[in-house]
Structure 1
Amino acid sequence: MQKTLIAAALASALAVPAFSVHAEEPASPHTFTGNVGLFSQYVFRGISQTNEDMALQGGFDYSHASGFYVGTWASNISWLKDAGAYDSSSLEVDLYGGFRGSITDAVSFDVGLLQYYYPGDKVAGAVSPNTTEIYGAVGWQWLSAKLSYSLTDTFGVDDASGTWYLDLSANYPITEALTLNLHYGMQEFSGRSTACVGITGSTKNDSCASYEDWKIGLSYALQQGFTVGAFYTDTSMNRDEKAFYTNLSGKYLGDGQTVVFLSKTF
């Protein structure tokens, strides 16, 4: 009996605590995500970029726990070739980076730099559409406001540095899976060039290139990172602005459009 008690005491003293074997590793500060989507067309700031044809889009993002992030995103396009600015062009590539965080538990912020790049064979004399923007955004619960400011010629419009775009959005959760998506935007071009002369007789870029746009839609979160949705988008352009955003085949690209999509994050 004494031997049994001594053996039990030794076994208890030498036992290794369970928590030392199964201790959890610290969470990584690095996060990598990706996204891909199939859209009935690509609409950017109220303007069709694919001549109302389908678009395949996707990108990759890296973020650090400190708040810094970088990423890239791409989509097929046709608007540069359709406008006669490129002999061949079918791709938009965006490169961006910035810093985001929280001001309070309910208020967030995001600041960064974004480069729009359009590879292809540009027509001689055409203004480069490559555009560099800085941006700042604030968010409160499901509301957000974002201001983008161009540092270069803007989307092929000469002397357009200082052009800005204001994005006011609301993504209201109706249910856990269903979200109402609302958007209102203001695109205000700056500078003077010959871009509008043939349309309005004015050299002011904003006389024919500036406009407002809006969007309303629904998105539904499926399993395994899939989302399906649809939205309607339109612009408030006058006659001169409609002429500016009409391509060589006579199609007005700022008309009211319905877009359906299927996307996945991973």
Structure 2
Amino acid sequence: MRRYVWGVMALWLSGCSTFVDQKPEKHELGDFDLTMGASPARSMAQGLVQPKAAGTFHGGLDVSHTSGWYFGQWAANLSPTDDAQLKLDSYAGYKQPLGDFIGYELGTLVHSYPSTSTDGVEEYYAGLSIFGNRLGASFSLKPDRQDHTLLAALDTLDRLGFGMTVKYSTHALNEPILLNGQGYVRTFDDWSLNLSRAWLGFNLNMSYSDSSMTTGQCTVYSGVNSYCEGLVQFKASRSL
């Protein structure tokens, strides 16, 4: 298995200079579609799960079949240093529409570190689309913890004038963390709400995030939000 992984990596390294920072290369091979590029070719579970780029050189290969099956491998860092390990994301799944308004997806993704003895991370995910509403769920099994996340992207643009996305996560540590004078922390939750709309050529975004931790417990926070305590952010962007 290690030889196979490094064989794929050698192929990517040899072609890295040809597609890094360029548009993805797409090819059709019978009933298969192949995509190779410097950005992740797909997001999964309605955008809840997605390989992420890190480091100077990164790239990946995605293969999908007309039946709905797909698999791929993504190298988040092709130039590992003392501070950044070589990381591979290998995934496989099945995605299928059921008519014009309903569809579903199931799959798994494994984060591995072939250049070290670091244990990998297993992630399982599912997605569902119903009449424009997108639902996603993921379960991440790490060496020291388990994370469950639910996502709901609701079709409210026509009725309310803005898009709405809600995310809720629960986290369970295998070993509780001792706090100075604050007891132990072993489980905690966090959540976020995102509202977005287009206005005069701008993309407006407002987000709110928070967690179940108290101020004294935030020193050990390690959830999906940028900050442990309640935070409201506003952002306006425009493409040039």
> Deviation at 1:67?
0.6
Report the 3-state secondary structure (helix = DSSP H, G, I; strand = E; otherwise coil) of the residue aligned with 1:211.
strand
- Structure 1 residues 121 and 69: alpha-carbon distance in aligned structure 2, compared to 1, 3 A threshold: closer
User: Structure 1: where are the runs of 5+ without partners?
Assistant: 1-26, 38-43, 77-85, 123-127, 220-227, 247-251
After TM superposition, give the deviation of residue 189 of structure 1 in Å: 1.2
Q: Which has the larger radius of gyration?
A: 1
What's 2:67 paired with?
A: 66
- 1:198 paired residue number: 179
Per-residue deviation at 1:186? Answer: 1.1
Task: Measure the CA separation in 1 of the matches of 2:119 and 2:197.
Answer: 32
Match of 1:31 among 30, 33, 55: 33
Report the structure, 1 or 2, having the larger strand content: 2
List alignment gaps of at least 5 residues for structure 2.
Answer: 1-28, 40-46
CA contact (8 A) 1:88 1:120 kept: no
CA contact (8 A) 1:55 1:75 kept: no
- Partner secondary structure for residue 111 of structure 1: strand
Q: Which has the higher contact order (CA 8 A, sep 6+)?
A: 1
Contact 1:142 1:170 in 2 (8 A): yes
Instruction: Please say if residues 183 and 214 of structure 1, whose CA atoms lie closer than 8 Å, have aligned partners that are also in contact.
Output: yes
Q: Any residues of structure 2 matched to 1:188-227 within 5 Å, and which?
A: 188-194=170-176, 196-198=177-179, 200-204=182-186, 206-207=187-188, 210-217=189-196
Q: Deviations over 1:199-254 (max 9, x none)?
A: 642252x14xx2112333458xxxxxxxx9675544212425632248xxxxx932
Instruction: Check whether the contact 1:133–1:149 (CA below 8 A) recurs between aligned residues.
Output: yes
Q: CA deviation at 1:130?
A: 3.9
Q: What is the rounded CA distance, in whole Å, between the counterparts of 2:71 and 2:36 in structure 1?
A: 12
Matches of 2:63 and 2:120 in 1, distance apart? 23
Q: Residue by residue, what CA displacement relative to the aligned partner does 1:85-108 show, whole Å, maximum 9, x if unpaired? A: x96127764321101112333110
**What is the CA–CA distance in structure 1 between the aligned matches of 2:57 and 2:157, rounded to whole Å?**
26
**What CA distance in whole angstroms lies between the structure 2 residues aligned with 1:145 and 1:236?**
21
Report the counterpart of residue 209 of structure 2 in structure 1. Answer: 235
Q: CA deviation at 1:173?
A: 7.3
Misfit runs of 4+, over 3 Å: 33-37, 54-60, 72-76, 90-93, 117-122, 170-174, 179-182, 216-219, 228-234, 255-263
2:95 to 91, 100, 121: 100
Q: What CA deviation, in whole Å up to 9, does each residue of 1:63-86 have, x standing for no partner? A: 10011001244557xxxxxxxxx9
Q: Verify: 1:89 aligned to 2:70, yes or no.
A: no
- Distance (Å, rounded) in 1 between the aligned partners of 2:238 and 2:74: 16
Give the structure 1 partner of residue 132 of structure 2: 142
- Cα distance in structure 1, aligned partners of 2:88 and 2:162: 28
Shift of 1:60: 4.0
| Alignment size in residue pairs | 185
CA distance in 1, matches of 2:162, 2:58: 22
User: How big is the alpha-carbon RMSD for the aligned residues of Structure 1 and Structure 2?
Assistant: 4.6
SS at the partner of 2:142?
A: coil
What residue number does 2:166 align with? 184
